Amino acid sequence: MARLEASYRAIPDGSPVRLAKKTSNLFRARARTDVPGLDVSGLAGVLSVDPVARTADVQGMCTYADVVDATLAHGLVPLVVPQLRTITLGGAVTGLGIESTSFRNGLPHESVVEMDILTGSGEIVTARPEGEHADLFHGFPNSYGTLGYATRLRITLEEVDAAVALRHVRFHDVQSLVEVIGRIVDTGEHDGEVVEQLDGVVFSATEAYLTLGHRAPLTGPPSDYTGSEIYYRSIQHDRSRPRTDLLTTHDYLWRWDTDWFWCSRAFGAQQPLVRRLWPKRLRNSAFYWKLIALDHRFDVADRLEVRHGRPPRERVVQDIEVPLDRTTEFVGWFLREVPIEPIWLCPVRSSGTWPLYPLRPGETYVNVGFWSSVPRDPGDPGATNRLIEAKVTELEGHKSLYSDSFYDEGEFWQHYGGDAYAALKARYDPGSRLLDLYSKAVRRT
The mean pLDDT value for 227-232 works out to 97
Q: Which pTM value belongs to this model?
A: 0.95
Q: Judging by beta carbons within 10 Å of its beta carbon (0-12, 13-18, 19+), is residue 73 exposed, middle or buried? A: exposed
List the single range of 28-42, 74-88, 276-290, 298-312 with lowest mean pLDDT. 28-42
pLDDT, one tens digit per residue, over 48-67 is: 999 999 999 999 999 999 99
Cα torsion 434, 86, 99, 76 to 10°: value is -110
The conformation of residue 406, written as its DSSP 8-state character, comes to: -
Confidence of residue 14 (pLDDT cuts 50, 70, 90): confident
User: Where do the H-state alpha helices sit in 207-284?
Assistant: 231-235, 249-253, 272-277
Residue by residue, DSSP assigns 13-57 as TTSPP-B--S-----S------S--B--TT--SEEEEETTTTEEE
Cβ atoms < 10 Å from Cβ of 188: 14
Q: Which helix (H) or strand (E) holds 323?
A: strand 313-323
Amino acid at 217: P
Query: How much is the pLDDT for 20?
Result: 75
Phi, psi of 225 (to 5 degrees): -110, 25
Where do the structural domains in the chain lie, given as residue ranges?
Answer: 2-160+421-443, 163-255
Query: How much is the pLDDT for 267?
Result: 93
Higher-pLDDT residue of 24, 291: 291
Q: What is the mean pLDDT of the chain?
A: 94
Q: Is the pLDDT of residue 296 over 90?
A: no
- The CB-side HSE value for 25 (13 A sphere, CA atoms) comes to 26
Residue by residue, DSSP assigns 215-229 as EE---SPPP--SSSS
Cβ pair 25, 87 in contact under 8 A:
yes
How far apart (Å, rounded) are the C-alpha atoms in residues 346 and 395? 17
How far apart (Å, rounded) are the C-alpha atoms in residues 309 and 78? 48
User: CA–CA distance from 6 to each of 40, 96, 428, 430 (Å)?
Assistant: 11, 28, 19, 20
Which of 355, 394, 321, 413 has its CA nearest to residue 98?
321
Domain 2-160+421-443: assigned CATH number: 3.30.465.10
Q: Is the pLDDT of residue 423 over 90?
A: yes
Q: ∠ CA 104-351-190 to the nearest 5 degrees?
A: 25
pLDDT, one tens digit per residue, over 119-153 is: 999 999 999 999 999 999 999 999 999 999 999 99
- The CB-side HSE value for 55 (13 A sphere, CA atoms) comes to 11
User: CA–CA distance from 303 to each of 27, 309, 389 (Å)?
Assistant: 20, 10, 28
Query: How much is the pLDDT for 231?
Result: 98
Q: Is the pLDDT of residue 176 over 90?
A: yes
Q: Is the pLDDT of residue 23 over 80?
A: no
How far apart (Å, rounded) are the C-alpha atoms in residues 356 and 370? 23
